[in-house]
Amino acid sequence: MHSQELDFLLMKYLDDSLPPEQRAAVRKILDTFPEARAQLRSHQKIDDLLRSAPPMPPIQWDRLAKRISAAIRLPPPTA
């Protein structure tokens, strides 16, 4: 199994969003391969950090759009 595919499955496994047959297949991989278990622990640590982080402030979309538009209209810098 490719690393990206395993990463995707492990993230879905952590989120409990896999169908039962895929969940069982991932469980079998985890039971068989210590590297997969280590990768799952790594994903769990990242997930725990993200869940414990303070919430992001609300984005002021209108202000952001105006700043982007203004930046686009700027003339290119001269050398």
pLDDT digits over 9-39, tens only? Answer: 999 999 999 999 999 999 999 999 999 999 9
The residues spanned by each domain of the chain are: 3-55
pLDDT on residue 75? 73
Alpha helical stretches, state H, the chain: 3-14, 20-32, 34-52, 61-73
pLDDT digits over 39-56, tens only? Answer: 999 999 999 999 899 998
pLDDT on residue 1? 63
pLDDT on residue 79? 66
Q: What is the pTM of this model?
A: 0.65
